[in-house]
Amino acid sequence: MSHPDTRAVSLRDRMLIASVALAAIVVGVFVATILAVSAARTATEQEARSKNLSVQALRLEKLVLDVENGVRGYAFTRDRRFLRPYNAAVRSMPSERRNFRALAKDQPLQAERAKHIDELIGYYIDTFAIPVLAFRNTAAIELAYNNVGRTQAADIHRRFATFISEENALSQDRERAADSKSRHAMELGVVGLTGSAILILLFAIYLARGIARPVTEAAAGAGQVAAGDLSIRLSQKGPGEVGELTKSFNEMAERLQATRNELESQNAQLRESERLKSDLVNTVSHELRTPLSGVLGFTKLLLSRDFDAETRRHYLGIVDAQARRLSDLLDDFLDVRRIEEGRFERAKELVDMATLLEEEAQLYSQQSPKHEVEVEIDHAPLAVIGNPDRLRQVIGNLISNAIKYSPQGGVVAVIADRENGHVRVEVRDEGMGIPLNQQSKIFTKFFRGDAAASGITGTGLGLAVSRDIVESHGGRIGFESAEGEGTTFFVELPGVNGVKFRQGHDDDQS
Amino acid sequence: MRRRSTSSASGNGWPAMERRKTILICDDEPALRELIRASMGDGFEFAEASDGIIAMELAREVTPDLVILDLMLPRLSGLEVLARLNDDEGLRDVPVLVITAWNETREDVLAAGADEFVTKPFDPDDLRSAVNRLVAA
């Protein structure tokens, strides 16, 4: 798999490439500087040789003068003393001439001139100096000197003058060249070294920014994660592996945070379930002890004291009612077990909800003198398919809740009608309502909200069981509530049309 | 629920020399109020309250000789009733017997201002002797 961006180049390769490039540049700069210095030295040497050549030319010319003066002096005086500089000059002439030509060979034009001068000197000595010294006749010497020697010598001197002036010009050129080359070398050295220093600095900055800083940030981030702050994220930059490191770090922090959130929410759920369990213990304790007190207390009284028949029957009635309450309570708990084990009894038949509602309303209206249970049904019958005992349980639970949660008394309205093929039942009270923060939990098993504290009895199971029953009938249950104004619970069950019940209601919707 | 009643047999053999003691029963469960009445037998007058608010109203009205108080009451909890009784000059000295199904410890309830403590289910004879002790004191 290839990355589309520049991070494909690994960090090691980048460092290697950068180091090699930097080294190459530095080496290049040094080579160039050394070359420039060497060129400057060559130019200086050439300049020196030029000066040597001029000196050599002057020395040679001096020898030629010695030869000339020697010849002339001896020829006119016959004094052998004049021959001393001549002989010395002739003796050293060959080596000086060789030196002269050798020194002059740097520059072709000057080499040509030197060669010519050398040949002229050779010709002058061979054809003039040596033959003239052999002459006995002074007049012949003078003639030869005047006609040949002087002209030749003058020519040689002229050529020497040209040569030296040329060589001086050349020497000045070379001096200028040497100056310029050494200046050039110096400049190159300064520029090259400065450039290399800047490049090294840039490389260091690149290392610091591109690698050191992200790595430092990652280390700081890791420290924060270790300290428990999982919200930390790094800016995803830096080359190759460093970029990968920050990316991986962020992914790790992300995953750690997700895991911790999950754990925390599981923990909260556990705590909630612990709390519900503890509530349940209190609830069971209260719900069992109150009827149990009635049963045990009245039984004890009946056993230990004498009462008249009417009182006895009354007390036995209470014992019976309280024992039934215990039994109902047990049923509630068993229902929960059945819900949890998924084996709720669901034998279904045709049920008229209108009749069922009337019967339940009547039952509960007898139980609470403070409440008035009103039933509004415009279209009877309201046929559904379901288990009549279970549906009765749901409606009974809703009406009983409506009564319990409006302790001041008031109207409990039971309203039912057809709606979009469903049978909709509403149970409306004018009671305390459900606080907003508890509305999402009221179908939770054993949840009782503030009910326990306000002395309202119950197990926290009724609505959980009711919802399971309604859903097993393909319906839904819900509510609307405003705190302090009352609550309306509704149940919607799939309706059945065109049904005749034995009681003789006609289904006027068919 | 608010009711004032006398025991069934008024003046059947009890000496007339003593004013009959009044007991305020505070419990939201009618069956338990009846059990308490039946346990006490004759010789007391009863006032009954089914929630904490009524309990306070009745207490101020009749100034009972004893309050029997269930801690789990609608509208105003038993502990709150206990606190208000203790704050009331005229009711501070009325002995209170607490009946509860909850798991409060005896110490907590006595510390809250109760004089006696009975848990559900209770023995009617125990309740009667506790009441007699408190009323006599």
Question: In this predicted structure, what is the pLDDT of residue A9?
Answer: 67
Question: What average pLDDT does this structure show over A342-352?
Answer: 73
pLDDT in tens, A484-493: 889 999 999 9
Confirm whether A226 is domain-assigned: no
Q: Which domain holds residue A473?
A: 346-509
Nearest by CB to residue B35, choosing from A289, A297, A321, is A297
ipTM: 0.82
Is A326 in the same domain as A354? no
Q: Do B102 and A321 touch (CB under 8 A)?
A: no
Is A15 in the same domain as A163? yes
Confirm whether A52 is domain-assigned: yes
Question: In this predicted structure, what is the pLDDT of residue A340?
Answer: 63
Interface test with B, best of A281, A290, A329 (most B CBs within 10 A): A290
Nearest by CB to residue A297, choosing from B39, B52, B72, is B39
Is A328 in the same domain as A428? no
- Find the angle CA(B107)-CA(B111)-CA(B114) to the nearest 5 degrees: 95
Question: Among A104-113, A458-467, A500-509, whose mean pLDDT is lowest?
Answer: A500-509
Q: Which residues pair with A410 in a beta bridge?
A: A371
Helices (H), A211-308: 213-226, 240-304
Q: Do B31 and A286 touch (CB under 8 A)?
A: no
Alpha carbons within 13 A on the beta-carbon side of A131 = 14
Interface test with B, best of A280, A293, A329 (most B CBs within 10 A): A293
Q: Mean pLDDT across chain A, nearest whole number? A: 83
pLDDT in tens, B75-89: 888 888 999 999 988
A459: CATH:
3.30.565.10
- A321, pLDDT greater than 80: yes
Question: What average pLDDT does this structure show over A197-205?
Answer: 88
Question: Among A301-315, A341-355, A444-458, whose mean pLDDT is lowest?
Answer: A444-458
Confirm whether A415 is domain-assigned: yes
Q: Do A289 and B41 touch (CB under 8 A)?
A: no
Q: Do B34 and A318 touch (CB under 8 A)?
A: yes
List CB contacts (< 8 A) between B37 and chain A.
none
**Residue that finishes a domain, picked among A279, A313, A338:** A338
Q: Are B36 and B131 in contact (CB under 8 A)?
A: no
- A238, pLDDT greater than 60: yes
Give the count of Cβ contacts less than 8 A between chain A and B.
78
Q: Do A282 and B74 touch (CB under 8 A)?
A: no
- A339, pLDDT greater than 80: no
Q: Do B103 and A293 touch (CB under 8 A)?
A: no
Q: What is the pLDDT along chain B (137 residues), one digit of tens a residue?
A: 677 765 544 444 445 446 788 999 998 888 899 999 999 888 899 999 988 899 999 999 989 999 999 888 878 888 889 999 999 888 888 999 998 876 667 777 888 888 988 888 889 999 999 999 998 86
Closest CA to A336 of A184, A155, A463, A457: A463
pLDDT in tens, A149-167: 888 888 889 999 998 898 8
Question: In this predicted structure, what is the pLDDT of residue A510?
Answer: 39
Question: In this predicted structure, what is the pLDDT of residue B96?
Answer: 93
More reliable by pLDDT, A113 or A283: A113
Confirm whether A192 is domain-assigned: yes
Determine what percent of chain A is predicted with pLDDT higher than 70: 92
Is A84 in the same domain as A175? yes
Question: What average pLDDT does this structure show over A127-134?
Answer: 81
CA dihedral angle for residue A325, residue B103, residue A483, residue A399, rounded to 10 degrees:
0
**Residue that finishes a domain, picked among A166, A194, A210:** A210
pLDDT in tens, A5-21: 444 567 778 788 888 88
Listed by start position, the domains of chain B span 21-136
Domains of chain A: total? 3
- A2, pLDDT greater than 50: no
Confirm whether A195 is domain-assigned: yes
Question: What average pLDDT does this structure show over A218-233?
Answer: 85
More reliable by pLDDT, A189 or B66: B66
Question: In this predicted structure, what is the pLDDT of residue A124?
Answer: 87
Q: Do B32 and A293 touch (CB under 8 A)?
A: yes
pLDDT in tens, A445-458: 777 777 665 667 67
Rounded Cα distance, A185 and A189, in Å: 6
Q: Do A293 and B77 touch (CB under 8 A)?
A: no
- A224, pLDDT greater than 90: no
Confirm whether A230 is domain-assigned: no
Closest CA to A380 of A358, A395, A401, A364: A358
List CB contacts (< 8 A) between A453 and chain B.
77
Is A489 in the same domain as A376? yes
Residue A138: pLDDT band by 50, 70, 90 thresholds? confident
CATH number assigned to the domain with residue range B21-136, chosen from the 4 options 3.40.50.2300, 3.40.50.1370, 3.40.640.10, 3.30.565.10: 3.40.50.2300
**H-run or E-run covering B62:** helix B52-62
- Would you say the C-alpha torsion B44, B49, B53, B57 has a positive or negative sign? negative
Rounded Cα distance, A509 and A498, in Å: 7
Q: Which residue of chain A has the CA closest to B27?
A: A455
- A195, pLDDT greater than 60: yes
- What string of DSSP letters covers A116-177? HHHHHHHHHIIIIIHHHHH---HHHHHHHIIIIIHHHHHHHHHHHHHHHHHHHHHHHHHHHH
Question: In this predicted structure, what is the pLDDT of residue B78?
Answer: 86
Backbone angles phi, psi at A68, to 5 degrees: -60, -50
Residue A349: pLDDT band by 50, 70, 90 thresholds? confident
**Residue that finishes a domain, picked among A338, A364, A393:** A338
Q: Are B25 and B1 in contact (CB under 8 A)?
A: no
Nearest by CB to residue B101, choosing from A289, A304, A407, is A289
Nearest by CB to residue B102, choosing from A285, A291, A305, is A285
- Would you say the C-alpha torsion A414, A415, A417, A422 has a positive or negative sign? negative
Question: In this predicted structure, what is the pLDDT of residue A289?
Answer: 84
Question: In this predicted structure, what is the pLDDT of residue A325?
Answer: 83
Question: In this predicted structure, what is the pLDDT of residue B37?
Answer: 92
A108: CATH:
1.20.120.1730
Rounded Cα distance, B13 and B43, in Å: 10
pLDDT in tens, A59-79: 898 988 888 888 888 877 878
Question: In this predicted structure, what is the pLDDT of residue A399?
Answer: 92
Question: What average pLDDT does this structure show over A348-376?
Answer: 86
Q: Do A293 and B41 touch (CB under 8 A)?
A: no
**Phi and psi based region of residue A32 (left: phi greater than 0; alpha: psi -120 to 50; beta: remaining):** alpha
Q: Do B101 and A315 touch (CB under 8 A)?
A: no
